């Protein structure tokens, strides 16, 4: 009897594990375009660009009154909004997807929502749905569509929080459920109208998963579109992690992750903020992210008339030059070698037989890879094709510690930003991760 019970338990556990394995395989498949994409463009566009102030937070934190903040509705013209040009520029940058703030914490919808009058069609001189033509332009350029949606809505009469100092109510389940229904209906509207490839949620911090009904929300969205990707900011019910601003130092445990980052210090357009990172800094951060197997979601903040500031266009164009030249070392790559083998980020081709080295400095001598067990077939400069000479030194015949692989990189092959070197290996990359060996016989 006991044996039978044990057998049944074992069978059930196996079945359960098999199911879990299958769902991981399914997730891997569903997430594949995202994993391969490497670069996305985040777009914070909203009425906050009129005064050039912090998106939503400026009134929440009391830097401006709610009335004055909302007065910006009158200046949001979108007269020079050319979504096809946006999409072409995004494509030129080398990004494979874009995420547009359809609704930020201020509750102003950029599309013609039927569920609230607080939208740019009804309340601003723009007077039209701004999301539809953008989605169309992205699709035309074969870019994936991401919709940013703030779960919390500081303008909604049934959302408990209004500003940092003022709450509308606490503990009123009727009003809270009204709000949840509004959120649900707006999400369904977005899902049906735009069929986005990705929803980028934000603002889950006020409540827990149970209060937000996060499980039900993600279930409903996946029902609406089984292929949809959801970011993590839904209290643990999303598909991938979203570290913000700070580049991870160690490789994140989640196999799917995306660093979102501003070009200057603001998400939305702020004419006063000229603290831009240089294209060089951005590309170096990008290679760091690629080396750890992640994506970069780089933000732009268009002006109220729909133009993209010159500094941002310049960054996107230089990024585009670099990604185009180095596309084989960007798209579809996977995380590289663990730290300690090369002085800089590295990535691998999907089959692990090509090792990409990202060189962000001018070497004073040959560059070095340590602890690589594989023999090398060929080494070349990505985007140029120049073959490079290499030499293995210090390989003791009695030791299993691999030799030092030195690669000559002449100055004339260097890129203005980050040079990429491809090392074609015999077989998939294997590294030595131990602390050396002493001689036992010679």
Residues in touch with ligand GLC (CB under 6 A): 44, 55, 202, 244, 260, 267
> How far apart are CB 100 and ligand GLC at their closest, in Å?
12
> How far apart are CB 34 and ligand GLC at their closest, in Å?
17
Cα separation, 88 vs 102, whole angstroms: 20
Cβ nearer to ligand GLC, comparing 13 with 245? 245
Cα separation, 23 vs 176, whole angstroms: 33
> How far apart are CB 57 and ligand GLC at their closest, in Å?
6
CA dihedral 186, 188, 189, 195 (to 10 degrees): 130
> How far apart are CB 43 and ligand GLC at their closest, in Å?
11
> How far apart are CB 377 and ligand GLC at their closest, in Å?
42
Question: Strand 404-407's sheet: what is its strand order?
Answer: 367-369, 404-407, 390-393
> How far apart are CB 49 and ligand GLC at their closest, in Å?
13
Cβ nearer to ligand GLC, comparing 252 with 332? 252
> How far apart are CB 55 and ligand GLC at their closest, in Å?
5
Cα separation, 58 vs 62, whole angstroms: 6
Cβ nearer to ligand GLC, comparing 34 with 356? 34
Cβ nearer to ligand GLC, comparing 267 with 356? 267
Cα separation, 259 vs 241, whole angstroms: 8
Beta bridge partners of 321: none
Cβ nearer to ligand GLC, comparing 105 with 303? 105
355 Cα distance to chain centroid: 23
> How far apart are CB 316 and ligand GLC at their closest, in Å?
18
Place of tokens 């039978």: 4
Q: Are strands 295-300 and 258-261 parallel, antiparallel or unpaired?
A: parallel
Cα separation, 126 vs 75, whole angstroms: 9
How many C-beta atoms surround the C-beta of residue 427 within 10 A?
12
146 Cα distance to chain centroid: 11
Cα separation, 118 vs 116, whole angstroms: 5
Cβ nearer to ligand GLC, comparing 202 with 288? 202
Cβ nearer to ligand GLC, comparing 158 with 202? 202
Cβ nearer to ligand GLC, comparing 57 with 286? 57
**Furthest-apart CA pair in the chain: how many Å?**
85
Scanning 243-366, the segments in alpha helix (DSSP H) are 279-291, 310-325
| Cβ(233)–Cβ(204) below 8 Å | yes
Nearest-10 crossing angle of helices 131-140, 83-93: 40
Cβ nearer to ligand GLC, comparing 46 with 306? 46
Q: Are strands 354-359 and 346-348 parallel, antiparallel or unpaired?
A: antiparallel
């Amino acid at each position: 009897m006991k044996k039978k019970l044990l057998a049944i338990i074992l069978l059930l556990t196996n079945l359960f594990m098999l199911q879990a394995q299958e769902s991981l395989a399914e997730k891997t498949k569903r997430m594949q375009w995202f994993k391969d994409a490497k670069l996305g463009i985040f777009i914070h566009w909203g009425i906050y660009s009129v005064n050039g102030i912090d998106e939503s937070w400026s009134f929440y934190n009391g830097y401006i009154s709610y009335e004055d903040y909302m007065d910006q509705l009158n200046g949001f013209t979108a007269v020079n909004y050319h979504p096809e040009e946006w999409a072409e520029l995004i494509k030129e940058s080398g990004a494979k997807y874009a995420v547009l703030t359809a609704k930020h914490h201020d509750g102003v919808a950029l599309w013609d929502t039927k569920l609230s009058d607080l939208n740019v069609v009804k309340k601003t001189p723009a007077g039209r749905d701004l999301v539809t033509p953008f989605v169309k332009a992205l699709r035309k350029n074969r870019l994936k569509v991401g919709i940013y949606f703030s779960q919390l809505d500081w303008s909604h009469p049934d959302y408990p929080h209004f500003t940092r100092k003022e709450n509308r109510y606490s503990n009123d389940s009727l009003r809270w459920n009204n709000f949840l229904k509004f959120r649900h209906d707006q999400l369904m509207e977005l899902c049906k109208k735009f069929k986005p490839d990705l929803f980028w949620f934000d603002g889950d911090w006020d409540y827990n998963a149970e209060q937000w009904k996060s499980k039900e929300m993600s279930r409903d969205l996946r029902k609406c579109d089984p292929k949809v990707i959801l970011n993590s900011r839904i209290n643990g019910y999303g598909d991938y992690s979203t570290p913000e601003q700070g580049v991870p130092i160690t490789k994140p445990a989640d196999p799917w992750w995306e660093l979102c980052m501003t070009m200057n210090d603001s998400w939305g357009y702020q004419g006063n903020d000229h603290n831009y990172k240089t294209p060089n800094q951005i590309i170096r951060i990008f290679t760091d992210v690629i080396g750890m197997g992640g994506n970069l979601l780089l933000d732009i903040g268009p002006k109220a008339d729909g133009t993209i500031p010159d500094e941002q266009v310049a960054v996107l164009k230089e990024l585009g030059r670099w990604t185009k030249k180095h596309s084989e070392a960007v798209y579809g790559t996977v995380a590289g070698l663990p730290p300690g083998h090369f002085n800089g980020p590295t990535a691998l081709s999907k089959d692990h037989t090509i090792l990409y080295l990202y060189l962000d400095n001018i070497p004073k001598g040959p560059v070095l890879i340590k602890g690589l067990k594989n023999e090398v077939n060929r080494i070349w400069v990505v985007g140029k094709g120049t073959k490079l000479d290499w030499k293995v030194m210090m390989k003791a015949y009695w030791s299993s510690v691999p030799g030092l692989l030195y690669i000559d990189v002449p100055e004339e092959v260097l890129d203005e930003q980050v040079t990429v070197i491809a090392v074609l290996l015999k077989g998939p990359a294997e590294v030595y991760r131990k602390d050396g060996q002493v001689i036992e016989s010679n």
